[in-house]
Structure formats: structure tokens, C-alpha cells
């Protein structure tokens, strides 16, 4: 699956962003607005915080839209936590997977090897198996879920 990545660099750290995998969860802009700010240009400025701070936020991006690589010798282990793979069913949204996962198609061809992915469960994504936020624009609702407000994915 070809992807266009936006690349943002700072000393010892490169952050990439795959807009097609971002579902506007907001974790990044809420947690570290000095670096992730949609009102600024560029909207990612990794040099405005420490590499550890940026890596921690990237690791928390639930879709894998944000990735980072560091060349300063610091630890990148936060990106692939040493924990069992975890699945969380987003309310009225995707299945969030965390852990070291590999996604492949039926013939074994790899689609992604990542520590965070959001998988479509509404059936509306144009980028299946990944969620592309179509559930939200379509107003999709999981009939089995409680009526509490949607928690952004």
C-alpha cells in the first residue's frame, strides 16, 4: 500500500506523518501542543521539545499515523512496548491494536508492521483494513454500544 508521508526533522529526530491514517484523535495536539499544532506551519515541529517527549507522544498515537526515528542514540523502545498485543474496541469506531503487530493480506503480503494500528470495523473505510475515519463522516453507530458520547479514535 503506497503511502505519502510528511517528514519533519530536528536534530537527532525525524517524525513522519501519514495523513491517511490519522483519524484526528487529538492525542498529539493535546499532549504536546508546542510540537503538534495544527495552527502552525509546519504543524509538526519536533525541535520544540526533547526527543524523549516527542517519542512518548508518537508512541501514544493510536493509529500509527505518527512515527519517529531518532539518530541521537536515545531509546526508541517506547514505540514498541514490550507488552502483549492489546485490542480496544473504539466506541462507534475502529479496533485499536497496540503491540508488535504485522498486518498482511490473505496471500501473506505485508501491509504494515507497526506497534499501533486502527482497524476498520464499520466496513466503510476506503483503506481497509485500516480505519480512515469514514465511520465518523457516515455517522456509523455500533448498535451494541452504549449511547455514551463517541470517544474520538
Interface with ligand SF4 (CB under 6 A): 22-28, 61-63, 65-66
Of 124, 146, 151, 152, which one interacts with ligand FES (CB under 6 A)? 124
Name which of ligand FES, ligand SF4, none residue 74 binds, using a CB cut-off of 5 to 8 Å depending on partner kind.
Answer: none
With beta carbons less than 8 A apart as the criterion, state whether 85 and 99 touch.
yes
Name which of ligand FES, ligand SF4, none residue 46 binds, using a CB cut-off of 5 to 8 Å depending on partner kind.
Answer: none
Which residue, 70 or 136, has its beta carbon nearer to ligand FES?
136
In angstroms, rounded to a whole number, what is the distance separating the alpha carbons of residues 39 and 45? Answer: 12
Which residue, 70 or 135, has its beta carbon nearer to ligand FES?
135
Q: How many CB atoms lie within 10 A of CB 120?
A: 21
For residue 87, what are the contacts with CB-CB under 8 A and spacing of at least 6? Answer: 95, 96, 97
With beta carbons less than 8 A apart as the criterion, state whether 99 and 81 touch.
yes
For residue 129, what are the contacts with CB-CB under 8 A and spacing of at least 6? Answer: 103, 111, 119, 120
Which residue, 63 or 125, has its beta carbon nearer to ligand SF4?
63
Which residue, 45 or 134, has its beta carbon nearer to ligand FES?
134
**At closest approach, how far in Å is the CB of 40 from ligand SF4?**
14
Of 22, 57, 101, 120, which one interacts with ligand FES (CB under 6 A)? 120
Amino acid at each position: 500500500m503506497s503511502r505519502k508521508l510528511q517528514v519533519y526533522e530536528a536534530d537527532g529526530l525525524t517524525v513522519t506523518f501519514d495523513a491517511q491514517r490519522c483519524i484526528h484523535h487529538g492525542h498529539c495536539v493535546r499532549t504536546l501542543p508546542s510540537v503538534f499544532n495544527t495552527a502552525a506551519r509546519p504543524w509538526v515541529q519536533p525541535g520544540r521539545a526533547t526527543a524523549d517527549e516527542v517519542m512518548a507522544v508518537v508512541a501514544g498515537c493510536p493509529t500509527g499515523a505518527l512515527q519517529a526515528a531518532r539518530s541521537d542514540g536515545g531509546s526508541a523502545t517506547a514505540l514498541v512496548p514490550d507488552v502483549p498485543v492489546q485490542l480496544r474496541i473504539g466506541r462507534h469506531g475502529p479496533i485499536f491494536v497496540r503491540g508488535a503487530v504485522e498486518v498482511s493480506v490473505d496471500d501473506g503480503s505485508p501491509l504494515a508492521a507497526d506497534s499501533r494500528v486502527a482497524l476498520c470495523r464499520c466496513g466503510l473505510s476506503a483503506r481497509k483494513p485500516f480505519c480512515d475515519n469514514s465511520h465518523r463522516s457516515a455517522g456509523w453507530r455500533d448498535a451494541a454500544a452504549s449511547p455514551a458520547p463517541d470517544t474520538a479514535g
